[in-house]
Structure 1
Amino acid sequence: MTSAVLIGLTAALTVATACLFLLPLRDPKAAGRHWQTPNSPDTATAWLAASIHDAPTSALSAIKAHATMQLHIECSTAECARKAAAFDTLTGTGAIKPRTR
């Protein structure tokens, strides 16, 4: 009886631990790109969410610019400085030809 209880508790603890590490705590795309509320106590997450959209500190290579464009596909170049820098790099190399209106 005691070993069955221990096995059951071990299995429950293992499943609970796996759920904590494998399941996302929140879905950022469900509420839009800027899902962090201004008054959130999690300031580190808010800083990280803002910093990934900041302009890069050095020039992007064509490969990094291409990856940045894929990562920031939902961002606009007007609002996301990192995507704007990647767009400028790719237009400079001729990989993207901007539309003319």
Structure 2
Amino acid sequence: MDPGSVMAAQIDHLVSVSRFPNVRLSVLPLVRRVTDAPFHTFVTYDDRLMAAELFSGQVVLRDPKDVDYCRELFVVKERVVLLVGCSFKQVDNVFPQYFGN
């Protein structure tokens, strides 16, 4: 299986998952500068709870300052994302190398 078809399948899966009402898919191009970015993935559940996935495990944080900081990181990223709420057609336009355009 060639890497291009694997990437196309992964992108297709992401777009499919983005159709759930509680999921938002955005594209942050590598050429856009983000001044403050986390080194780990994180999920904010509400204003009192967030989880960060570290290289060595997961940490759950309940301090409102930590939760607010991560919410602000989302705001910073949203200022530079290319697409918010992507459709497959939009993704096809952004990543034509994977879809034969």
Return the index of the structure with the highest Cα Rg: 1
Q: What TM-score bracket applies, with the shorter chain setting the length?
A: under 0.3
TM-score with structure 1 setting the length? 0.25
Which structure has more strand as a fraction of its residues? 2
1 or 2 for the larger relative contact order (CA 8 Å, sep ≥6)?
2
